[in-house]
Amino acid sequence: MIADDSAIGQPDSVKLCALIGKWFNDFATRPIEVLPFRNILPLTGFTICHSLRIAYLYHSVLSSQGVKVGRRKQDVSFLQSGLVCTTLVMSGTTMAALLQGQPSGLLSEGSGEMVAAYMLASYAMKWLHPIMEQLPQLPLKLLSFFIDGFATTFGTLSLGLIPTLKDPTKQSSTGEPLILPMILVPLLCGSGASLLVPFFGLFQPQFSFGHPGFLSENLSVDFWGPWMISLIYGTIVDGRGLLFGSSRQILQYGTLYGVGSDLKEGSSPAPWMRPDEAHVLCSLILSITYVINEFGPQLLDRFTITRPGNSTKKEKLENNGDEASTAHATGHQISSGKVSNRKEKQ
């Protein structure tokens, strides 16, 4: 899944990233041989983990509203549950494919197996959800955030930014990457479901049009997360144009004054890291960002010295902690995912 460009003669300075990248490639690309139906539905370890993560997320959101998935009239149907889980994962890349006219998402090879995996995981989660609720929640949350981080980074970079950087139609006459495709395509591929979930009310038992989340003043990590890792990856590996070239110039010299002619002409500066190592680094950064976004405010509240006059206010905030956590949980997608209206995590 992560392209290894061995032609670049860069020193293997980040051995940990290279080791993680090799392990993740095997985990995400090799079908599990022990499965009895592997010839009909080849599933990788990461596909199984991510499909269960998305299904558990959706069932948890429904459970917080007092709704279950089942056959009763007041329940959400299995078909609706499976379609929502599939939408959370593949809607962004499908929108990007329609926008660019390239096969991706539901239009790509192997999409049928992906849809089947997420539909089956959503069906099985009816019985798995009560069991997973009894597990220690802190390790489960941390694992979910890292699954979201790697899935969203794969969608953002491997399906979004990297093909766009290689596409000559997405470059100016001087060879510089065009800014708008560098911003829009990675966002759609990395967290496109964040646009659809609030707009169509996909986390509600009955769908309804709502206020788009991207019009909110306080954008969630699902929106600026893909932009952040796109900027990091483009600066480290590409370094061309106004967006990535200026960022590299600031990191190198601390100023935009006197931008080099190589950046202006769109030539390819030497990458700072191998692409596969930079990919893993972005995955780790995004995963840690999700963890900080979830637990950071709680840690700050614990270490903040509260004045005596503000004790009542602090008690109110603590009493509302569960509601805040539930609200945040409805916002992670996949890729992402994750919920903060996340991810597409892929």
Phi, psi (degrees; rounded to nearest 5) at 3: -70, 135
Contact 183, 160 (CB under 8 A): no
Which single residue is written with the structure tokens 């006219």? 101
Virtual CA dihedral for 222, 322, 197, 115, nearest 10 degrees?
A: 90
pLDDT at 4 over 50: no
Q: Give the pLDDT band (50/70/90) at residue 327.
A: very low
> pLDDT digit string (tens) for 131-156?
999 999 999 999 999 999 999 999 99
pLDDT at 258 over 80: no
Lowest-pLDDT choice from 70-74, 90-94, 115-119, 230-234: 70-74
pLDDT at 34 over 90: no
Q: Note the pTM of the prediction, 2 decimals.
A: 0.79
DSSP single-letter state for residue 155: I
> pLDDT digit string (tens) for 111-132?
788 888 899 999 999 899 999 9
Determine the pLDDT at residue 319: 46
How many Å apart are CA 344 and CA 333, to the nearest integer?
Answer: 6
Q: For residue 256, give the 3-state DSSP assignment.
A: coil
How many Å apart are CA 193 and CA 220, to the nearest integer?
Answer: 13
Characterize 9-45 residue by residue with b for buried, 16 or more Cβ atoms within 10 angstroms of its Cβ, and e for exposed.
Answer: ebeeebeebbebbeebbebbeeeeeeeeeeeeebbbe
Lowest-pLDDT choice from 51-55, 79-83, 149-153, 285-289: 79-83
Q: Quick one: which H or E segment has residue 38?
A: none
How many Å apart are CA 332 and CA 342, to the nearest integer?
Answer: 4
pLDDT at 244 over 50: yes
Angle at 40 between CA 34 and CA 42, to 5 degrees: 55
Lowest-pLDDT choice from 72-76, 217-221, 256-260, 280-284: 256-260
* Average pLDDT score over the chain: 78
Rg (Cα) of the chain, in Å, rounded? 21
How many Å apart are CA 75 and CA 309, to the nearest integer?
Answer: 47
Q: Are strands 338-339 and 332-333 parallel, antiparallel or unpaired?
A: antiparallel
